Amino acid sequence: DAGVTQSPTHLIKTRGQQVTLRCSPKSGHDTVSWYQQALGQGPQFIFQYYEEEERQRGNFPDRFSGHQFPNYSSELNVNALLLGDSALYLCASSLAGDNYGYTFGSGTRLTVV
């Protein structure tokens, strides 16, 4: 039973560039949530996708956008990268209607230089 898969595992980008991170949810899950985890901090909620629509959003600027595909996989896009965007980006999947927490992937480590 495959868990949550994220790609790439590591990424280095230059300030001002754009980046796309990808996530495949756990088999049977239909909801994907994205979190940003700065070094030494707890994960911060970015947004959640269900039925290909953004269902909830945290306190992140519009530079952060996402997409969910019919197969439930998801992308996180960040435009105009800032040094402060350097973090571990975590994808978590769940089943809509099941309030039983998330299954997380191992994350994508983004470094902006």
Partner 1 sequence: QQQVKQSPQSLIVQKGGISIINCAYENTAFDYFPWYQQFPGKGPALLIAIRPDVSEKKEGRFTISFNKSAKQFSLHIMDSQPGDSATYFCAPGTYKYIFGTGTRLKVLA
What is the binding site for partner 1 (CB under 8 A)? 4, 33, 35, 40-45, 48, 56, 59, 90, 92, 94, 99-107
Q: What CA–CA distance (Å, rounded) separates 7 from 19?
A: 12
The least distance separating partner 1 from the CB of residue 99, rounded to whole angstroms, comes to 5
| Apex 9 CA angle, 6 and 38, nearest 5 | 95
Mind spelling out the 3-state secondary structure of 8-45? CCEEEECCCCCEEEEEECCCCCCEEEEEEECCCCCCEE
* Of 85 and 93, CB closest to partner 1: 93
* Of 17 and 41, CB closest to partner 1: 41
The least distance separating partner 1 from the CB of residue 15, rounded to whole angstroms, comes to 25
* Of 14 and 99, CB closest to partner 1: 99
The least distance separating partner 1 from the CB of residue 16, rounded to whole angstroms, comes to 28
Count CB-CB contacts under 10 A for residue 2: 8
Residue with tokens 């470094």: 111
* Of 35 and 78, CB closest to partner 1: 35
